[in-house]
A and B are shown apart, each in its own frame.
Chain A
């Protein structure tokens, strides 16, 4: 275990707390974690059954992660990636293997509180074996300047009888520019559940592509996105689900709320190439529903507070 009690460590934990994390978790000896500021690993701990190997590079950190066969990691793995200076580039490359019968939940907080000219790229290649579980929650905390570009990309292959759950949320601070691209393929009897929740304002630019390939018999997939944009922010959400196996079932669910001069676009793509498969989709874009607002106003809320309540509920 490496622990660095330098100012960087303290500062990043402050940002971590602002993002909603609990800094004391990093002192827990039973819980694995990894803390990275720009291209420096400033804290890490692994535990039995988990191989967690970070390697610093010129612009970031390469991470190898492996959960051994049959090992069910009891507590989430806590990750904190951040860039504390106003400027900088951070590239995180993750290669993860969740072996057959293994189970892991990762909780990542990505913090860029001072970003004026920061680029954060994440490339993940993840292999999930058979009868396994992989859960990944990524929570972003950005400053108010909007000077951040976030480019998370992931390619995930999921074996048979396994489960994949990912949640991406960016609700605090300005988005800046977001270009997310997740592609997942799942095999027989496996499930995928991908959710993205983002709140953009100012001149934020949001681009999301989440694609799921249900190639195994009786596989199940849900791709869900909840986006709220206001001022001059723009969003484009491409949600793609392809079912090519018998009894594969999928659903795409996208809701975008716009206010002011914001623009939103949703492109649900549903492909079915097997007569016994089925994929459905629903997409709704528009201002906040008038009846919702009037209902809350009829209880005494002013219009702006009513809108905030509806939007925050949707993004919860």
Chain B
């Protein structure tokens, strides 16, 4: 069953075409990865799906659970069960980690908050009462961001490069958490530029220069990405070259 569909999405920012007639379909209860090099438009796609104010499509539509959400504000999309884990999470002075994790929960559940922080390899007693401020490293904030998504139990979680800024030791845990998200009924849209991370997905879409240029099994698309896209042979790409 389809949970997310994008039709003919075009996005222009500051005069630059970022996404071009993009179409995407994501099946429920899957991990769907979006693979691509830097500047492919992956994060812009994530922000557009979430409804961020600077990323309003000039044309096209976004459907979530069969409903047209193209003009819905962020919080209404979130209330429907859609959320986003940012690539670079912000700081919140004065807001405790446990309270930040609880923000997305329908009903506060301290046991689940602890489980969420534990799953990202952070010790609850050391982190829950700390503030989400500059005393946390970028990697710690990243993990806390993922914990907040886990605790929310959304229907669809967009994870924008959850592997960036994470050390090797923690990466396995992040991957396991993503798999656990799927097990608990959350569809995951996984944004990454690492094909080895993309391999945990059920399906992969390869993005380049604002287009989806290839879709298929993660290994196959990852192999194509390695062979054709590293290094990137061209700064521009036309729809006719889509495979």
Contacts and interface: CB of A to CB of B under 8 A. Distances in A.
Contact of B93 (A291, A306, A313): A313
Contacts of B152: 299-300
B72 to A, nearest CB: 11
B90 A298 contact: no
Interface in A275-316: 289-292, 294-303, 306, 309-310, 312-316
A298 to B, nearest CB: 5
Interface string B72-105: 0111011100011010011011110000000110
A309 to B, nearest CB: 7
B187 interface: no
A295 B89 contact: yes
B52 A309 contact: no
A291 B55 CA distance: 13
Main secondary structure of the interface of B (DSSP, over half): mixed
Contacts of A292: 90, 92
For the side of the interface on B, what is the size category? 20 to 34
B53 interface: yes
Contacts of B131: 313
Nearest to A310: B92
B94 A312 contact: yes
A290 B92 contact: no
Interface string A194-223: 000000000000000000000000000000
Interface in B24-54: 50, 52-53
Given A298-B50, A298-B84, A314 B103 contact: no
A301 B94 contact: no
A292 to B, nearest CB: 5
Contacts of B75: 297-298, 300-303, 306
A270 B94 CA distance: 26
Given A294-B53, A297-B74, A302-B75, A313 B95 contact: yes
A289 B73 contact: no
Q: Which of A255, A312, A313 counts the most B-chain CB atoms under 10 A from its CB?
A: A313
Q: Which of A290, A294, A297, A298 counts the most B-chain CB atoms under 10 A from its CB?
A: A298
A314 B53 CA distance: 24
Contacts of A297: 73-75, 78
Nearest to B47: A294
Nearest to A312: B94
A291 B104 contact: no
B148 interface: yes
Contacts of B52: 294
Q: Which of B53, B73, B103 counts the most A-chain CB atoms under 10 A from its CB?
A: B103
A296 B86 CA distance: 11
Q: Which of B50, B52, B148 counts the most A-chain CB atoms under 10 A from its CB?
A: B52
Contacts of A302: 75
Nearest to A291: B90
Q: Which of B78, B79, B94 counts the most A-chain CB atoms under 10 A from its CB?
A: B94
Nearest to A255: B93
Contacts of A291: 86, 90
Interface in A30-73: none
A314 B74 contact: no
A294 B131 CA distance: 19
B95 A295 contact: no
Given A290-B53, A294-B53, A294-B74, A299 B103 contact: yes
Contacts of B53: 290, 294
A313 B92 contact: yes
Nearest to A302: B75
Q: Which of B74, B86, B92, B93 counts the most A-chain CB atoms under 10 A from its CB?
A: B74
A309 B86 contact: no
B86 A315 contact: no
Q: Which of A255, A295, A296, A303 counts the most B-chain CB atoms under 10 A from its CB?
A: A295
B90 A315 contact: no
A62 B50 CA distance: 60
A316 B50 contact: no
B104 A299 contact: yes
Nearest to B104: A299
A157 B114 CA distance: 46
Contact of A309 (B77, B83, B95): B95
26 contacts: A289-B90, A290-B53, A292-B92, A295-B86, A295-B89, A296-B103, A297-B74, A297-B78, A298-B74, A298-B75, A298-B78, A299-B103, A299-B104, A300-B75, A300-B78, A300-B79, A300-B103, A301-B78, A302-B75, A303-B73, A309-B92, A309-B103, A310-B92, A310-B95, A312-B94, A313-B131
Interface of B: 50, 52-53, 73-75, 77-79, 83-84, 86, 89-90, 92-95, 103-104, 131, 148, 152
Interface of A: 226, 255, 289-292, 294-303, 306, 309-310, 312-316
List the 10 closest A-B pairs by CB distance, nearest first.
A313-B94, A299-B104, A316-B94, A313-B95, A297-B74, A300-B78, A297-B75, A299-B103, A298-B84, A291-B90
